Every structure is written in structure tokens, then in C-alpha cells.
């Protein structure tokens, strides 16, 4: 694994980084207290190394366990037989780490780097990652050292069995825990915990020489601990003798509860704590798979086709990118679904296909010509209802529409896209401002180019800074060419404006519906257009997979992506469509995304039947618990809690209680 990028990859990295930050507006760097910014660190791996890293979740050092070896074996065989290939991996860390496959060709490396910068932007800015450990590489390595030390003391087999037990329970955490500040339940702590091995009752005082005692054991601190101990013992007595229910409220973070209150040895508690901490680290990645990959796919597609690729690279990019975005029946490709949702948001917010004015509209003449109505609405509001002025500007729109559609005034008709009509119209009505902006931008880049040339001349041939400067110069040259193309487009719009003023343009044959006037008057106010990019940055910051699909997945988009309700036909060994109804398909998708598709389990009583047994409930919403999985979980809970464990659920529409007593499994109907 190489931490220093070779020259050819640096020449790809720097232009991509500048493009993603300065053209796309991404913010992929952590800002530190001293004002400095982190970086995105790339490392180059061969396929063996990248499979090893992928098997360990992307981390170079993990605790010893057989599951990592099994994962590596599966990945290795899959790559060997051509079934899959890992192009990149990105680690949520400060700095963000990304691994590049050495065998990737330059087009793939360019695609991967653009994809990585978008992932880094998501890690830095999305609220679901706000409370994750940003020193994850160190955390995982520290966990590995702790468990290796425990293995040295307790033996590999014993520790491995305990890790297996904890891993079965790793999903029993609260998916809302990182975002909610809860009070500690110390007043109830340890009510059933029996001292074991190293955890004998402590007096509150550390062993110390007499002359150091007052410093190491301050009297006030010792007294405060003793008061807490008395309070805890009284609470234990009340719970045991009076049968109080504990916890006072249902607990979703069952793993955290067990870490606090289960009667464990110190080493067992340490491992349980490690499994829980890592589960919470990976939690937001499971909650944001679609939106995160969609965000990265949206920006790598937009940036590569928008200027990062040369003409000769486009075919290779299209070929490789299409393989990433393929979707099979019964499966969700997060790259495709997420990207298309973001594209749909951009289009809807650019054209104001949102809000009451759109969703309450039942006029077919308006809905079928929505872009034209929005252009009319803008004119109507700007003209304050003056009909003669409205018709004058409406004719300007019809002339503009006809000109860009037919390819006049240096605007090739091949680039006309109906979805861009309103955005171009917005450029047209603000043309002087746009022309001034692009002239200033070209001048600024020209000054940057001169400054870079001066720095190159002063670099004395030092390779690293010169490489970066040359890449920066290439980026600036690309931006100048882009700005010049935009300037040509704007000059074409200016030609249309002059032709309109001279009355030299034909108008698009479009009969203005009377419904436009009535509906514009019914919904007063200027409607903002061209707000799509602004909206998706807001979505990137505040949304997860569940909320993204709940708020932004439309029936038209679901039909386009074939997001139907499927079930697996065992007879034909394939997924078949169960229902094409949007409401049913969306409900099934949201259920799949709720709690990452896992059943919601709550701990409601840790003193069940006043015997210290554990009682859980399953929030039943349709799918039943898998009995074998439920039994494995109950057995593992018993090993941790060391008392019988029960869960209330629904089986065949009957309320049932499943359990494990330590000797046998229990399944009984709950009587009313």
C-alpha cells in the first residue's frame, strides 16, 4: 500500500479537487479549531490489499476474529471469478481516507476521486455523522490492542466465543441515540449487578501513601462517592423488595443497558463496550447508504461530464459508469436511486414543481405546460397584472423559446433540452448581470493563470510543488475555456434579445390558455426558479435514506426506476412484481429503511416477575420475527444477562411470548 501518490495520480487528483470544491461548491474538509483544514488522503492498493481492507470495514487494523477472514475469502473469490470489483473505499475519519485500486485506468481513477470528494463532503456536513468518532482509524486500532491483550490473558477461544455473543447483539442499539441527549440513569445503576472478580465493592478510596492520601483521596470526593453508593444500594433494595419496574421507560439501546447493568467480568464489559462503540460508528453509514452514494454519484456524473473528462475519455467513462448504475428486479441500487432522486429534486426546484401551487393544480392545460406557465407567472407578477405589458413580454418568451429550440444565434439546437428551458429563460431575463459576472470571472482566472506561471518560474524545479502548480494551471485553463463557452452562450442570448427588440424573430406557435391568468391570480407572488442546487445542498445536510425517500420519492420517479413491490418466487427462483401501486411500493421501501430494515426491539422490564428476568417487546408492524434469529438473540442475551430473557411479539396474528431460560426455549401465547 502506497501512501504517496505517484505523479500521474497527483496530476489527476489536484484538478479533480479544485473542480469539486470551486466549481461544484463541495466542502470536503474538516475545519479545525486553529482554522486549518483537513485533507482527503488517498492511498494506492493492489487487489489483495484492497480486499483485506474491505473485509475489515476499510480499516488496516481490527481485532482478531474469524468473520474478517470469512469476508476476505468471499471478496477474494468474487474478484478472482470476475463477479465483483472494488474500485474505491472511503473512511469517515479526520482526515478522510480513501483507497484507490492500483489497476484502475486513469478514467476510473478520475471517476473514483470525484466520487470520493463527494463522499467526504457528505461525511463532513451531514448531521447524521456529526457525532461520530472522527479518529476512527485510531479507535479501531486501539480496540484491536485491547482485545489482543484480553486474548493473552483469557485465551483466544474464550474471547472469540464472547465476541460472537456480542456481535449477535450489535444491532440492539438506538438509531436515534447519537442525536438525543439523555440523562444518565446512575441512580438506578447496577441494581442487579453482582460483584464478580475485579468488580468487588470499592470504598471510594485509592490505595496511597499516607502523605499523599489527602491529594489522591480528597475527603469531599470520597464522601460524595459513599453517598452515591448508599443511594444505589437503597434503590437496589427497593427494586428487589417492592418489585419496582426498571427501567422507568422502554430502552432502545439494549446494548448500552447491558454494558451498564449486566453482571459481567471487566474484560467482558470491555469487549461489549467495544462492539457497541463500533456499532454506533457504523450506524449512520447504514442510515444514509442511498443518499450518500446518490450524492457521490450525482456529483461524479455532473463533474466528469461537465469538464473533467476529455473527449477521448467519455466512452470509457460511460461504459464503466453504466455498470455501476445497473439495477436488477427486487433490488435497490443506491447509486442509481440516490442520484435520480437528487436529479429530480434539482429539476423540480428549478421549475417550481412543488408546493401548493403545483400539487393543488387540477387544470390539465397548466400541468401539461407547466414550464410555460411558470414563465408566464414570472411575467404576470413582474408586470403587476397589466395585460398589454404581459402580452408584450409573453411574446418575448415565445420568441426566445423558438430561437433556442431551433438553434439560432450560435446556440446549437442539439443542446436544447426542455428541462433547461426555464433556467435559460432565467438567464435571459437577467442577461446583463450574467454577462458582467462571466467577464469578471474570466478576468479573475486570467490573473490566477499569470500568478501560477510566476510561481512555477520561482519553484526551482522542485517536483512536488511544481506538480501541484501545473495541475492548478491546468484546472484554471479548463475553467477559462468553460467560462468562454458560457460567454458564447450568453452572447447568443444577447443576439436573441436584440432580434426581439428589432421584431425580427418568429414566435413559437403556442396558444396562451386563459387558465394561466386565473391560476396566476389565484396564487399571487413571484415563484423562485433555478433553486435546485441550493435545495440539494440542504437535503445533503439534514436527510437520511428514510426521510429522503419519504419526502422526495414521487410516483413518476418510482415508475421510472421500477421501484415496485416485489416478492421472491421460490418456484421460479426469482423476484416477481407483487404490486405496481405507488403507495404500497413506497410503504414497503420505507419499512425496509426504518431502523435499517431491522425489527425495533425495546427493553421494558429488567426485573420481570420480580426475579431479575429480562423482558423485551417487539414493535410489530407487519413482518414477523425470524424465529431462528430471535432464538439466537435470546440465547446471547441470556449469556450476557445470566437470567431468563423473554420477548413479546406477534406470530400468526397472535400475541406470543418467546423466551430462553438457560435450559430451554419457550414459546407461549400471551393471555389477555
| Residue 397 burial by Cβ neighbours in a 10 Å radius (0-12, 13-18, 19+) | buried
CA distance 356 to 362: 11
**Measured in whole angstroms, how far is the alpha carbon of residue 93 from the centre of its chain?**
14
Spatial separation of the C-alpha atoms in residues 652 and 650, rounded to whole Å: 7
CA 78 to chain centre: 26
Helices and strands per DSSP (H, E), number in the chain: 26, 10
DSSP label of 56 = T
Rounded to whole angstroms, how far apart are CA atoms 137 and 561?
Answer: 37
Q: Give the count of alpha carbons within 13 A of 231, CB side only.
A: 11
Q: How far is CA 263 from CA 155, 189, 193, 203, 369, in A?
A: 21, 12, 5, 19, 69
β-strands 654-660, 665-669: how paired? antiparallel
**CA 240, CA 232: separation in Å to the nearest integer?**
12
**Low-confidence stretches of the chain (pLDDT beneath 50):** 181-200
pLDDT for residue 178: 64
Omega before residue 247 within 30° of 0, cis: yes
The CA-atom distances, in angstroms, between 474 and each of 13, 243, 271, 307 are 12, 75, 51, 12
**Phi and psi of 448, rounded to 5°?**
-60, -40
Q: Checking DSSP bridges between strand 601-608 and strand 565-569, what pairing results, if any?
A: unpaired
As a whole number of angstroms, the distance between CA 170 and CA 632 comes to: 13
Are the beta carbons of 170 and 286 closer than 8 angstroms?
no
> How far from 23 is each of 38, 245, 351, CA to CA, in Å?
19, 58, 22
Alpha-carbon distance 177 to 252, whole Å?
Answer: 9
User: DSSP secondary structure string, 173-233?
Assistant: S-TTGGG------GGGTTTTPPP-GGG----S-----GGGHHHHS-HHHHHHHHHHHHHHH
The CA-atom distances, in angstroms, between 381 and each of 366, 385, 401, 525 are 17, 7, 20, 7
User: 590 and 546 in contact (C-beta within 8 Å)?
Assistant: yes
CA angle 268, 274, 277 (to 5 degrees): 140
Grid cell at residue 267? 474484560
The three three-digit cell numbers of residue 300, written as one number: 461524479
Provide the H-helix boundaries in 246-313: 254-261, 266-287, 289-303
What whole-number distance in Å separates Cα of residue 72 and Cα of residue 56? Answer: 8
Backbone angles phi, psi at 201, to 5 degrees: -55, 140
Cα distances from 369 to residues 7, 352, 365, 456, 511, in angstroms, run 53, 13, 6, 55, 11
Please give the pLDDT value at position 189.
41
CB atoms within 10 A of CB 21: 15
pTM above 0.95, yes or no: no
Please list the alpha-helical segments (H only) found in 126-218.
136-154, 156-168, 213-216
Q: Note whether 120 and 40 are within 8 A (CB).
A: yes
Amino acid at each position: 500500500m502506497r501512501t504517496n501518490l505517484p505523479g500521474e495520480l497527483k496530476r489527476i487528483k489536484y484538478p479533480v479537487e479544485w473542480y469539486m470544491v470551486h466549481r461544484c461548491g463541495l466542502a470536503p474538509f474538516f475545519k479545525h479549531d486553529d482554522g486549518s483544514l483537513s485533507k482527503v488522503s488517498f492511498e494506492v492498493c493492489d487487489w489483495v490489499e484492497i480486499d483485506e481492507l474491505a473485509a475489515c470495514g476499510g480499516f488496516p487494523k481490527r481485532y482478531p476474529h474469524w468473520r474478517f477472514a470469512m469476508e476476505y475469502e468471499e471478496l477474494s473469490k468474487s474478484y478472482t471469478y470476475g463477479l465483483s470489483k472494488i474500485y474505491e473505499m472511503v473512511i469517515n475519519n479526520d482526515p478522510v481516507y480513501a483507497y484507490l485500486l492500483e489497476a484502475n485506468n486513469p478514467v476510473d481513477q478520475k471517476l473514483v476521486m470525484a466520487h470520493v470528494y463527494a463522499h467526504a463532503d457528505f461525511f463532513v456536513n451531514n448531521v447524521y455523522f456529526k457525532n461520530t468518532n472522527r479518529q476512527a482509524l485510531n479507535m479501531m486500532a486501539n480496540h484491536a490492542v485491547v482485545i489482543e491483550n484480553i486474548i493473552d490473558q483469557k485465551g483466544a477461544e474464550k474471547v472469540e466465543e464472547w465476541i460472537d455473543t456480542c456481535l449477535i447483539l450489535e444491532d440492539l442499539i438506538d438509531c436515534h441515540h447519537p442525536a438525543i441527549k439523555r440523562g444518565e440513569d446512575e441512580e438506578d445503576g447496577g441494581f442487579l449487578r453482582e460483584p464478580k472478580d475485579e468488580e468487588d465493592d470499592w470504598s471510594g478510596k485509592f490505595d496511597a501513601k499516607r502523605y499523599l492520601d489527602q491529594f489522591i483521596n480528597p475527603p469531599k470526593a470520597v464522601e460524595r462517592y459513599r453517598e452515591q453508593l448508599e443511594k444505589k444500594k437503597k434503590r437496589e433494595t427497593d427494586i428487589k423488595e417492592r418489585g419496582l419496574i426498571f427501567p422507568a421507560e422502554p430502552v432502545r439501546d439494549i446494548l448500552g443497558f447491558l454494558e451498564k447493568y449486566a453482571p459481567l467480568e471487566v474484560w467482558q464489559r470491555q469487549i461489549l463496550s467495544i462492539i457497541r462503540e463500533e456499532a454506533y460508528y457504523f450506524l449512520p453509514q447504514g442510515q444514509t447508504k442511498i443518499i450518500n452514494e446518490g450524492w457521490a454519484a450525482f456529483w461524479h456524473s455532473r463533474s466528469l461530464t461537465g469538464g473533467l473528462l476529455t473527449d477521448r475519455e467519455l466512452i470509457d467513462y460511460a461504459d464503466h459508469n453504466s455498470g455501476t448504475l445497473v439495477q436488477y428486479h427486487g433490488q435497490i441500487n443506491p447509486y442509481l436511486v440516490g442520484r435520480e432522486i437528487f436529479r429530480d429534486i434539482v429539476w423540480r426546484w428549478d421549475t417550481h414543481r412543488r408546493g401548493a401551487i403545483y400539487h393543488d393544480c387540477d387544470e390539465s392545460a397548466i400541468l401539461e405546460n407547466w414550464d410555460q406557465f411558470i414563465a408566464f407567472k414570472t411575467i404576470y407578477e413582474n408586470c403587476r397584472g397589466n395585460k398589454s405589458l404581459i402580452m408584450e413580454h409573453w411574446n418575448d418568451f415565445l420568441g426566445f423559446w423558438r430561437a433556442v429550440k431551433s438553434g439560432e444565434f450560435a446556440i446549437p439546437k442539439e443542446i436544447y433540452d426542455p428541462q433547461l428551458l426555464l433556467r435559460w429563460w432565467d438567464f435571459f431575463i437577467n442577461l446583463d448581470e450574467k454577462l458582467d459576472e462571466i467577464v469578471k470571472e474570466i478576468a479573475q482566472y486570467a490573473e490566477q493563470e499569470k500568478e501560477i506561471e510566476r510561481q512555477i518560474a520561482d519553484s526551482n524545479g522542485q517536483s512536488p510543488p511544481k506538480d501541484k502548480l501545473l495541475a492548478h494551471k491546468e484546472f484554471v485553463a479548463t475553467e477559462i475555456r468553460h467560462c468562454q463557452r458560457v460567454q458564447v452562450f450568453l452572447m447568443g442570448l444577447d443576439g436573441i434579445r436584440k432580434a426581439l427588440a428589432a421584431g425580427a424573430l418568429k414566435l413559437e406557435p403556442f396558444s396562451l390558455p386563459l387558465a394561466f391568468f386565473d391560476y396566476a391570480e389565484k396564487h399571487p407572488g413571484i415563484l423562485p426558479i433555478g433553486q435546485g442546487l441550493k435545495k440539494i445542498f440542504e437535503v445533503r445536510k439534514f436527510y437520511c435514506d428514510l426521510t429522503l425517500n419519504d419526502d422526495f420519492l414521487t410516483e413518476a420517479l418510482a415508475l421510472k426506476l421500477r421501484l415496485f413491490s416485489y416478492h421472491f418466487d421460490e418456484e421460479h427462483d426469482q423476484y416477481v412484481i407483487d404490486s405496481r401501486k405507488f403507495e404500497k411500493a413506497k410503504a414497503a421501501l420505507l419499512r425496509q429503511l426504518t431502523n435499517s430494515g431491522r425489527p425495533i426491539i425495546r427493553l421494558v422490564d429488567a426485573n420481570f416477575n420480580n426475579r431479575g428476568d429480562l423482558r423485551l417487546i417487539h414493535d410489530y408492524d407487519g413482518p414477523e420475527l425470524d424465529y431462528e434469529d430471535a432464538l439466537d438473540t435470546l440465547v446471547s442475551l441470556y449469556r450476557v444477562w445470566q437470567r431468563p430473557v423473554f420477548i413479546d411479539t406477534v406470530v400468526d396474528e397472535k400475541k406470543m411470548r418467546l423466551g430462553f431460560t438457560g435450559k430451554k426455549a419457550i414459546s407461549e401465547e400471551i393471555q389477555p
